[in-house]
Amino acid sequence: MTIGDQIIPFSPVPDTELSAIAKQLRRDIVTMISTAGSGHPGGSLSAVEIITALYFKIMRHCPSEPGWIERDRFILSKGHAAPALYAALAESGYFPVSELATLRKLGSRLQGHADRTATPGVEMSSGSLGQGLSFGVGTALAAGLNNKKYRVYVLIGGGECNEGQVWEAAMSAYHFKLDNMVAFIDHNELQLDGTNHDIMNIEPLGEKWSAFGWHTIEIDGHNFNEILSSLEEAKNIKGQPTAIVAHTIKGKGISYMENKVEFHGKAPNPEETKKALQELA
Amino acid sequence: MKIADISMRDAFFDALYDIARQDDRVMLLTGDFGAPSLDKFRTDLSRQYINAGVAEQNMVTIAAGLALSGKIVYIYSIAPFVTLRCFEQIKLDLCCMKLHVTAVGVGAGYSYSTSGPTHHATEDAAVMRILPGMTVYNPSDNIMVAAFAGMSYRDPGPKYIRLDREKFPLRYEEKHDFSDGLALLKRGKDMTIIASGMMVHQAFKVTEELLKHSIDAAIVDLYRLSPVNDNLLLQVMGKNKPVVTLAEDLVAGGIGSIVAEVMADNGCQSRLKRLGTENQYVFQYASRECLHSHLGLDVASITTGILRWLQ
Ligand SMILES: Cc1ncc(C[n+]2csc(CCOP(=O)(O)OP(=O)(O)O)c2C)c(N)n1
């Protein structure tokens, strides 16, 4: 909200409301992907609690002023989870919730992968994996150079950690002592074609981030208490960035999608959508 | 299933599978991509199949190491990720060392219409074709796709094969010899349309429309973008006939540029119109048909564009 020239940041919701918001985001995600007929439900659903905590509790941001210079930044590096981001942006007031139905449609601002030139609140156009953390390093460096207090949150997929650029960025964030930066790794143990373990073993993941100099915390990525306390902890860490390895479930919240790699990039059919919405009622 | 009924991807990997069964030097690396036609590799030829994860740069250079150790290597991902993401690795580790590695990219042009510029492949062919020693194939039907599996296996050197996600009617006879690099698919006395990939099929529809305006257009399928068969191209273009090039790709560097280069180098004075995507990324999210309308690449727009230009 703005009053005159004054920016009034989004008011954090009480902790008790976060679960209900997460459920709403899940309904939005399923409905929009089903309406579009294509998209990536699995990795959108695994990130819901993290994104909910950031947009509704932790980040200082102002939906009516997406370009507010002081805002905390959320960078969705795993761009295929755009539906989760769109749901959070809509539900927090960046654009009307009704617009979610236009996902992947002609003329829509809501593309299959997010486009920062079109959609208010999107910090980075993404969709090609492995690049968001580097963008985060640039954004976090700029905070120091411009004397800004904002914090930078980047969400990376577990499979995305296969990309070499993630580790180049990890090395540089430590080198530049970016303590204003947090990387969430949405560690749902699946990628596109199977398990991380079968395709490209990324373990020991927490130890890797530690070895790269990051303050590393491992949490249950669906547990709000753990998400919030890890973010509090990160705020007090000085001289190094924080990595939060969030153990999550791909397709979380919808029984037949949970831990199913088939729902990495497949829309539910009408029957499946109905069932999903019943489960999320 | 008949070859006409399967995707280009399956046509390619089915053919490659038959080759790989006979020759255990053949290796297939994928960048975290699967498909039913790849499952056969995974199960029956597990020693010849590697999922290299979402790490395309690493995958290219691993392929180089394998190739220098006697393997014939194929690497597979979505078109931009197996070309642009790892371009320098392809230049140095495949082209400079002249290795027998074939990059197979799925999603030519706007195949992934609703996934946006990250997944659109509109400059991949242009940049790959300028690499010395690189052969670039842009097939228009499954007969050709299957033939390219064999040609890429037999002929040494780096290659890029770009597959569409759609199914197209077959335009070639089984056993057609594709070493020419291009084919005159339809004769026409008034002008020539030079197209590639899915646009070859669009060209057939356009020529039907043009005929209603008494314009008889020839169609040339330029399926090998590098090296280009200059002599044959000049021959099929005919003398002083207007030429239109047709592709979904960015106009700069694409097949329009190829034809312009051949014409300029050979003093050919024919009029040339290059159709494709004009200097932009496409953020419109829609079916491929809608994107074509948006870009003026649907049959009606192409036809009126050509008619106006001819006047
Ligand atoms: C550079 C690049 N290579 C390949 C892809 C195709 N792709 C999209 S999602 C995905 C798997 C990602 O796995 P992960 O990061 O674990 O995502 P999640 O399971 O959380 O959805 C792949 C390979 C891509 N988008 N970008």
B182-192 pLDDT, tens digit each: 999 999 999 99
Q: Closest chain B residue to A102 measured between Cα atoms?
A: B285
Q: How confident is the model at residue A2 (pLDDT cuts 50, 70, 90)?
A: confident
Q: Which helix (H) or strand (E) holds B27?
A: strand B26-30
* B217 shares a domain with B157: no
A205-225 pLDDT, tens digit each: 999 999 999 999 999 999 999
To the nearest whole number, what is the mean pLDDT of chain B? 96
d(CA A22, CA A222): 10
Mean pLDDT throughout A22-43? 97
Q: Which residue has the tokens 């007090």?
A: A236
**Predicted local distance difference test score (pLDDT) of residue B238:** 85
Q: What is the number of structural domains in chain B?
A: 2
What CATH homologous superfamily does A14-279 map to? Thiamin diphosphate (ThDP)-binding fold, Pyr/PP domains (3.40.50.970)
Of A111, A115, A193, the CB nearest to B33: A193
The reply to whether ligand 1 has any atom less than 6 angstroms from the CB of A73 is: no
Is B67 among the domain residues?
A: yes
* B117 shares a domain with B63: yes
Mean pLDDT throughout B151-172? 97
Q: Closest chain A residue to B290 measured between Cα atoms?
A: A106
Is B203 among the domain residues?
A: yes
Is B112 among the domain residues?
A: yes
| Other beta carbons within 10 Å of A228 | 16
CB B136 within 8 A of CB B128: yes
* B114 shares a domain with B204: no
Q: B94 pLDDT exceeds 80?
A: yes
CB B245 within 8 A of CB B273: yes
Q: How confident is the model at residue B281 (pLDDT cuts 50, 70, 90)?
A: very high
Is B306 among the domain residues?
A: yes
Of B33, B54, B114, the CB nearest to A129: B54
Mean pLDDT throughout B152-179? 97
* B48 shares a domain with B195: no
* B17 shares a domain with B157: yes
Q: List the domain range (segments joined by +) for residue B241.
A: 182-310
d(CA B32, CA B55): 8
Contact with chain A for residue B33, Cβ under 8 A? yes
* B214 shares a domain with B132: no
**Predicted local distance difference test score (pLDDT) of residue A258:** 98
Structure tokens at B176: 């057609």
**Predicted local distance difference test score (pLDDT) of residue B36:** 87
Domain-ending residue, one of B105, B130, B163:
B163
A103-162 pLDDT, tens digit each: 998 889 999 999 999 999 999 999 999 999 999 999 999 999 999 999 999 999 999 999
Structural domain boundaries in chain A: 14-279
Residues above pLDDT 90, as percent of chain A: 95
Q: Which amino acid is at A27?
A: R
d(CA B246, CA B255): 7
Is B177 among the domain residues?
A: no
Q: How confident is the model at residue B284 (pLDDT cuts 50, 70, 90)?
A: confident
Is B207 among the domain residues?
A: yes
**Predicted local distance difference test score (pLDDT) of residue A146:** 93
* B230 shares a domain with B135: no
User: B residues 52-81 near A, CB within 8 Å?
Assistant: 52-55, 57-58, 80-81
Mean pLDDT throughout B192-200? 98
Look up the ipTM and state it: 0.86
User: A residues 31-70 near B, CB within 8 Å?
Assistant: 36, 38
Q: B239 pLDDT exceeds 90?
A: no
Cβ separation of A162 and B53 shorter than 8 Å?
Answer: yes
Q: B31 pLDDT exceeds 90?
A: yes
The number of C-alpha atoms within 13 Å of B141 and in the hemisphere containing its C-beta is 20
Closest residue by Cα to atom 21, ligand 1, is A43
CATH at residue B40: 3.40.50.970
Q: A1 pLDDT exceeds 80?
A: no
Is B29 among the domain residues?
A: yes
Cβ separation of B54 and A191 shorter than 8 Å?
Answer: yes
Largest pairwise CA distance in chain B: 61
* B74 shares a domain with B136: yes
Q: How far is A225 from chain B (nearest CA, A)?
A: 32
* B8 shares a domain with B137: yes
Q: B157 pLDDT exceeds 90?
A: yes
The reply to whether ligand 1 has any atom less than 6 angstroms from the CB of A157 is: yes
* B152 shares a domain with B17: yes
Q: How confident is the model at residue B283 (pLDDT cuts 50, 70, 90)?
A: confident
Q: A94 pLDDT exceeds 80?
A: yes
DSSP string computed for B206-256 = HHHHHHHTT--EEEEEE-EEES--HHHHHHHH-SS--EEEEEEEESTTSHH
**Predicted local distance difference test score (pLDDT) of residue A192:** 97
User: The dihedral of CA B200, B201, B206, B208: what is its sign?
Assistant: positive
Q: A96 pLDDT exceeds 80?
A: yes
The reply to whether ligand 1 has any atom less than 6 angstroms from the CB of A129 is: yes
**Predicted local distance difference test score (pLDDT) of residue B83:** 98
Q: A3 pLDDT exceeds 90?
A: no
Q: B278 pLDDT exceeds 90?
A: yes
Domain-ending residue, one of B163, B192, B214:
B163
Contact with chain A for residue B32, Cβ under 8 A? yes
Question: Is the peptide bond preceding residue B169 cis, with omega within 30 degrees of 0?
Answer: no
* B131 shares a domain with B92: yes
* B11 shares a domain with B147: yes
Mean pLDDT throughout B88-112? 97
Mean pLDDT throughout A164-177? 96
**Predicted local distance difference test score (pLDDT) of residue A4:** 79
Cβ separation of A118 and B283 shorter than 8 Å?
Answer: yes
A191 CA to middle of ligand 1, Å? 6
Mean pLDDT throughout B206-222? 98
Residues above pLDDT 70, as percent of chain B: 100
Q: B230 pLDDT exceeds 90?
A: yes
